Chains A and B, each alone.
Chain A
Amino acid sequence: MKALVIGSINDTGLIGLAQRLEKPEIHYLLIGSGDAAQLGKYGVSKVYQLAAPVDETSFAETLVDLINKETYSLVLAPVSKYFKTAIPMAAQKMSAPLLVDVVDIKQVGNAFTVVFNGIGNRAQVTIKVTDKAFLMAPPTRFKPGENPTGTTTETLQPKSVGAIKVVSTEEKPKGRVRIEDAELIVSVGRGFKKQDDLKLAFELAEVLGAEIGCSRPIAADLKWLGEDHWVGLSGHKVRPKLYLAIGISGQPQHLAGMMESKTVVVINNDPNAPFFKNCDYGVVEDLYKFVPALTKRLKEVLKK
């Protein structure tokens, strides 16, 4: 079965997903720079390298042409806003399904089954696909196995559709956080009354050696923290050993982003906050009193 993996040189995790097919022939559509030949290590027999970055619509058109030429059964892409725009357009043009947040695939003869997180991240859905399909998943979820092979590289000239004119691009301040990989997370929500007060959480996080996460309003509305801190269905999905939520009420969209956490601690002064129904340890207390007291005591316990 022929599969095309799309991504930057850092998205090779998705090759691991493609390798779950029986005797797959794997091609890679490499976006941006990077050593294409090194992909041969994972059994990628052909690399298409996109000559220049393009808008989503042009990318979709370019992809459709490539799929028609190579007759791929399966196309796999990372989850990002760029691909969430481009891949559905390509899928519609190919009259094919697109499954998002995929966790597994299995080949059954000429068909395959796909397992993905659905229904507000509350269920694993298994579906059967008989013809070609598009899949999206976070590359970090998978690891490619080594299976060295010779690789040929070809430069792909993108089509330019020009449906949209980019007037300006304003970079957001760059964070350094990769919250998806954090082992300990202290996460903040609307219980904090002003931006300056977040330092209470920063101090706690420092003592624990934790990264800082936040709910939607903190990143998207108030912009007190960058989006790289945002945990939730439309932010990042995290799976730390400890998720310590301070002043977060626990809306379903937030819970969907941290369900895979091992231990969940919730600090909130409202005993009716929905988060208390989804925690391992819940402390009903004013965060302005509790967090500094917890930080102080932890310093003593951890001798920091």
Chain B
Amino acid sequence: MEIVVLVKLALDTGQLRMTETKIDLEATPLKISDIDRNAVEEAIRVREKVGGKVHVISALKYGPIQKRQQEAESLLREALAMGADDAYLIIDDLLLNSDQLMTAKAIAAAIRKLGSYDLVIAGEATIDGYTSQVGPRVAAELGIPVVTFVRELKVEGNKAIAKRDLEDAVQTVEAALPALITVTREINVPRIPPLLQIRAAMKKPINRLSLADLGLSLKPTVEVESIVPVQVKRKGVIIKEGTLDEKVDKLIQALIQEGLITPR
């Protein structure tokens, strides 16, 4: 079985480089989007059961390319160390900061370039954009079924059986392969690769693809005008000295001052 897993090299939102007026995206480190690690793990688990190969596909969205290329490849090595067989990095100036329409077109083209594929797995959302749209978009582009928000996946013969975690119900569905599945964090616990596998990953191939390699010429549909950090000023009063009762009283005084409670 040929399994494709989509991995976003996302902005590490826990380490945003920001001032009061500006977010320096170029200086903010990237990381594998948390939920995409679950996607990689699930892809490997499926392969362990039914055999085949796991291909990682990633589109670089944040520049500058000169600086990011090395960073992107070392991140993809983490997915290879977990057990993926090879990786494809779509790297092109036109894709930087582009919208998800272009990302999905590029990823779908890379998937088609692989030749045959049976299963595409992605995270339910990425930690930076959090719009959940690239998975369904890629499925629409490829014209294959999509099953989103999956917390349990089984592959049997030519079909995927999945439990979808919806707001008010758990829905069990079947889809014929090839299909695209987006997974939630609850589906598994991503493995931490041992040193031996990390070393072995150094030898696995990372193939670079430009939009020209994919036969694509894309025109952006949106233009970013500004990115303004949301500043929340917090008082940061830490109550750690004193007895338990003193701490309780300090907090209650604060709640009264803030007008949140009124003593009777």
Binding site for B on A (CB under 8 A): 56-57, 60, 80-82, 84-93, 95-101, 113, 117-131, 133, 163-172, 174, 184, 208, 216, 220-221, 227, 233-234, 241-242, 251-253, 256, 259, 263-265, 271, 274, 276-285, 289-290, 293-294, 297-298, 301-303
Report B201 CB to chain A, min CB distance, Å: 27
Count of chain B residues with Cβ under 8 Å from any Cβ of A? 83
- Apart from A121-B130, A167-B173, list 9 A-B contacts with CB within 8 A: A89-B146, A118-B227, A126-B227, A128-B222, A133-B221, A233-B125, A251-B14, A280-B234, A283-B239
| Complex: A170 Cα to B137 Cα, angstroms | 27
A96 touches B221 (CB 8 A): yes
B172 touches A167 (CB 8 A): yes
| Complex: A88 Cα to B251 Cα, angstroms | 46
| Complex: A241 Cα to B262 Cα, angstroms | 14
Stretch from B42-50, B111-119, B160-168 that touches the partner: B160-168
Q: A124-B228, A125-B224, A281-B254 are in contact. Are A227 and B167 (CB under 8 A)?
A: yes
Stretch from B66-74, B98-106, B206-214 that touches the partner: B98-106
| Complex: A108 Cα to B227 Cα, angstroms | 19
Report B160 CB to chain A, min CB distance, Å: 10
Report A63 CB to chain B, min CB distance, Å: 12
Is the C-beta of B16 less than 8 angstroms from some C-beta in chain A? yes
Question: Which of A96, A234, A289 is most buried by chain B, counting CB atoms within 10 A of its CB?
Answer: A234
Which of chain B's residues have a CB closer than 8 A to the CB of A170?
169-172
| Complex: A271 Cα to B239 Cα, angstroms | 10
Q: Chain A interface mostly helix, strand, loop or mixed? A: mixed
Closest A residue, CB atoms, query B171: A169
B145 touches A163 (CB 8 A): yes
Is the C-beta of B141 less than 8 angstroms from some C-beta in chain A? yes
Q: Which residues of B134-180 have CB atoms within 8 Å of chain A's CB atoms?
A: 134-137, 139-141, 144-149, 161, 165-176
Interchain CB contact (< 8 A) of A60 among B104, B140, B168, B258: B140
